[in-house]
Amino acid sequence: MLSFRLSAALLVMGMAFGASAASVRNEPVQPITPAEITDPAKVELGKKLFFDPRLSKSGFISCNSCHNLSMGGSDNLKTSIGDRWQEGPINSPTVLNSSLNMAQFWDGRAGTLKEQAGGPIANPKEMAFTHELAVEVLRSIPQYVAEFNAVYGKEDFGIDEITDAIAVFEETLVTPDAPFDLWLKGDDNALTEQQLAGYQLFKNSGCVACHNGVNLGGTSFQKMGLIEPYQTTNPAEGRAAVTGKDADRFSFKVPTLRNVELTYPYFHDGAVDTLTEAVDIMGRLQLGRHFTDEENAQIVAFLKSLTGKQPEITLPILPPSHDNTPRPVPFD
């Protein structure tokens, strides 16, 4: 009861700070605004689809399999596991706050969340389905038909409506009120001295040149290994895969640092398990800077102040398949 009162009081304090937007500190990072839900029925439908493994060939893999909302919207694996236990090519980025990124995927090949959502369903290494089959499965389930009808005004919905609903759900997956956000909004006590020192170092040493904006990332593509090359066996080319330009080889979308404490392992190849090592590598490879143990610990402490209020998800109960629903094919 006591802790409930305390968190309720903190919530009210957070709201009070949020109300006075004018008092937000003038920093290269801005606080997250809580999601405004304008169409709850669409969000609810999108949530069901996000959790529905029947969008995969095996009937076993959902978006949540690789973007687990119990684990910071990622899978905490080096690279993801797809259909028939296939080894994924790249680390799964978090879906939390992904609506705040300028583009989706490490190489930015999808411009919007809606465009992105069609990808994994039809990717043979991920959900291994086809858009046609996904539509056929959902259209065979009476409760889905009724829900799509209520939300989109049509029973003959297609992949367009499916990906739209998923994207609208994903837009609600923002994590406001991290300690750092409370500090940005004027609460001097929200950060420890060590965290504040870490933030000063983060700014002064140049991390913020790439990790900036609301998401501390997601605003540009940057070369991995600017000063010193990054050693990896992962064949991903980065942005060059989209632009075809040699200059974009090994440029990746700068990942968000929001909730980074939860989204290990790090980097596009998932090769690094700890924040301590990730900060050390970033310092040396991107800035030519060797942090002392104390400086490294300060930056890591700052990064942990970026863990926000996680979306509260009530597990959706999915409508049962109908007699006519095509059945999953987990094994060939």
State which residue, 30 or 98, has the beta carbon closest to ligand HEC. 98
| Greatest C-alpha distance within the chain | 64
State which residue, 14 or 72, has the beta carbon closest to ligand HEC. 72
Q: Is the dihedral of CA 104, 105, 111, 114 positive or negative?
A: negative
Q: Which residues are catalytic?
A: 126
Where would I find the beta strands (DSSP E) of the chain? 221-223, 251-253
Nearest distance from residue 39's CB to ligand HEC, in Å?
18
Nearest distance from residue 148's CB to ligand HEC, in Å?
16
> What residues does 223 pair with on adjacent strands?
251
Nearest distance from residue 167's CB to ligand HEC, in Å?
8
> What residues does 252 pair with on adjacent strands?
222
On whether the CB atoms of residues 52 and 62 are closer than 8 A, the answer is: yes
CA distances from 226 to 19, 127, 156, 249, 285 (A): 41, 35, 50, 12, 6
Place of tokens 């978090």: 94
State which residue, 101 or 175, has the beta carbon closest to ligand HEC. 101
Cα distance between residue 80 and residue 66, in whole Å: 6
Cα distance between residue 257 and residue 328, in whole Å: 37
Which chain residues interact with ligand HEC by CB under 6 A?
A: 61, 63, 65-67, 80, 82, 88, 90, 92-93, 95, 98, 101, 104-106, 113, 116-117, 120-121, 126-127, 166, 202, 205-207, 209-211, 222, 224, 226, 252, 254-255, 257, 260, 263, 266-268, 278-279, 282-283, 286-287, 299
Nearest distance from residue 322's CB to ligand HEC, in Å?
22
Cα distance between residue 13 and residue 266, in whole Å: 33
State which residue, 131 or 187, has the beta carbon closest to ligand HEC. 131
Amino acid at 161: E
Cα distance between residue 306 and residue 215, in whole Å: 10
On whether the CB atoms of residues 275 and 303 are closer than 8 A, the answer is: yes
Nearest distance from residue 185's CB to ligand HEC, in Å?
23
State which residue, 14 or 117, has the beta carbon closest to ligand HEC. 117
Nearest distance from residue 315's CB to ligand HEC, in Å?
17
Cα distance between residue 320 and residue 52, in whole Å: 11
State which residue, 185 or 211, has the beta carbon closest to ligand HEC. 211
- Residue 271 CB coordination number (10 Å): 19
Query: Tokens for 170?
Result: 């994903």
Closest CA to 301 of 205, 199, 182, 190: 199
